[in-house]
Amino acid sequence: MPEDNFSVKLIAYVPNARNNAQRAECEKAQRDQQCPFCPSGSALNSLDDPVIFESDHWNVKKNAYPYPGVGVHLVIIPKAHITSVSELSDAAILELVHVVVPWAEKEFNLPGYGLVVRTNPAVTGGTIYHLHFQLVLAKVGETVNVPFGPRRE
Ligand SMILES: [Zn+2]
């Protein structure tokens, strides 16, 4: 399994955690050197917050730590432990565009959405070094602010 063969030391970027629960999850992931976004990882095997869609190359779940004001907030995670869009296979890209996003559009009856890519969390404001997309739709009348860049206290 590819998730067992990576040698990445940076798993989670704790300073960007948005609350104590996320901070604890990030600290544990970094300490245990277990990527929560890999298929065997804690985020994808949470009984309280399960994967809601799976394809050959992707897992999709609701964001466990949604941004304020969101109506829909999904995390779309490649099964491969990769850290950049440039590492996605052609098959994964095609599946994202032609299977995963269309599923989300239909499942949540989306009139539109924002699609954010998180790579290196230390510079993008995310928490997990495993590449992921965040699909965000604000509640009617709300504005969702997606942080980019390191979190400041
Ligand atoms: Zn991973």
Ligand 1 centroid to 1 CA: how many Å?
12
Question: pLDDT confidence of 4, banded at 50, 70, 90?
Answer: low
Q: How far apart are CA 12 and CA 14, in angstroms?
A: 6
Domain spanning 2-138, CATH architecture: 2-Layer Sandwich (3.30)
pLDDT at 35: 94
pTM of the model: 0.90
Ligand 1 centroid to 7 CA: how many Å?
10
Ligand 1 centroid to 143 CA: how many Å?
30
Closest among 37, 86, 43, 35 to 58, alpha carbons compared: 37
For residues 142 and 128, the answer to whether their CB atoms sit within 8 Å is: no
pLDDT at 152: 66
Q: How far apart are CA 54 and CA 31, in angstroms?
A: 28
pLDDT at 9: 76
The alpha carbons of the chain give a radius of gyration, in whole angstroms, of: 15
Q: How far apart are CA 94 and CA 79, in angstroms?
A: 14
For the chain, domain boundaries: 2-138
